[in-house]
Amino acid sequence: MGCDALNLRAHILETVGEIVFRAISKALAQLGDPAIQRLIGLSIALTVAVFAVIAVLAWWLVGWLSGLHGWWGDAAQVGGVLATLVIAWFTFPALAAAISAVFADRVINAVEARYYPGRPAPFEVSLWASVFDGLKLALLSLVANLLTLPFLIFPPVYFLIAYGVNGYLLGREYYEMPAFRRLQRPAVKPLYVAHRGRFTRAGVLIAIISTIPFVNLIAPIIATAFMVHLFESVVILENDRAASVTRRPPSGAV
């Protein structure tokens, strides 16, 4: 059996776990890259700023709505801020999706420069289109996460539903970031549908990362880099499968 056939079999038999492990390993290995470190700093600053704005708004809104004064008013405002931050923490995957849209192109460029050099120029995706897609997903994810919060009284059920919903939403959103740059628009959806389970499981992993304290501050960067590698692995797998069909001898051939 030739080398091409051996390589083909290796790609086809490669398990989902191996692909995901390799993708996340490459994403984590690049965190020391100067280009990525600059984006990490921006991601942390933007995330902290958003949480600060949420806290200030919560403080003002609770004080205005409660109508309390003195010690009771301060207590209500502190409690309101803490409750709001807890809710924001549990809905952080929605925020991460919006933040990732801001840095997506720069993260993808850095990943491709290191791991996939010599690639042709990508299809142009405007920043506004990326931000709009990110905000749209963030809003949808925020609504979905808020709807799951009542299940917190049953933690196992809550985590099952929350991570399942976020896995589906985030898996598709992060897949589209590299896909729209490298595939013609009509080819984006069929590839996603063919590997929906793989991208959804990747989305679940992204959702988990997005709720780990401190790690979630750089989750948008890790998630984007991770999905670039996963996307490239899927494209290679599909190309090898197509090549195997092309090389397969006709039925009945000697």
Per-residue pLDDT at 192: 94
Spatial distance between the Cα atoms of 85 and 88, rounded to a whole number of angstroms: 5
Answer for the pair 183, 191: CB distance below 8 angstroms, yes or no. yes
Structure tokens, 127: 């920043």
- Per-residue pLDDT tens, the chain, 254 aa: give them: 455 544 544 544 455 677 888 899 999 999 999 989 999 888 888 888 877 777 777 777 766 666 666 666 667 667 766 766 666 666 677 677 777 777 888 999 999 999 999 888 888 877 677 667 767 777 777 788 778 878 878 888 988 998 898 899 889 989 999 999 999 889 999 999 999 999 999 999 998 888 888 888 888 899 999 999 999 999 888 887 777 666 555 555 54
Asked if residue 133 lies in contact with residue 96, where contact means CB atoms within 8 angstroms, the answer is no
**What is the predicted pLDDT for the residue at 6?**
47
Give the count of alpha carbons within 13 A of 206, CB side only. 34
pLDDT at 1: 46
How many CA within 13 A on the CB side of residue 64? 6
Cα 193 from Cα 161, distance rounded (Å): 21
Query: Is the CB of residue 239 less than 8 Å from the CB of residue 187?
Result: no
Instruction: Say if CB 176 and CB 199 are below 8 A apart.
Output: no
Structure tokens at 115: 């791991």
Q: pTM higher than 0.85, yes or no?
A: no
196-209 and 16-29 helices, crossing angle to 10°: 40
Q: What is the pLDDT of residues 140-178, one digit of tens each?
A: 777 887 788 788 788 889 889 988 988 998 899 899 999
What is the Cα–Cα distance from 173 to 159, expressed in whole angstroms?
20
Look at residues 186, 197, 185 and name the one whose alpha carbon lies nearest to residue 234: 197
- 169: enclosing H helix or E strand: helix 155-182
Q: For residues 103 and 42, is the Cβ–Cβ distance under 8 A?
A: yes
User: N- to C-terminal Cα distance for the chain?
Assistant: 17
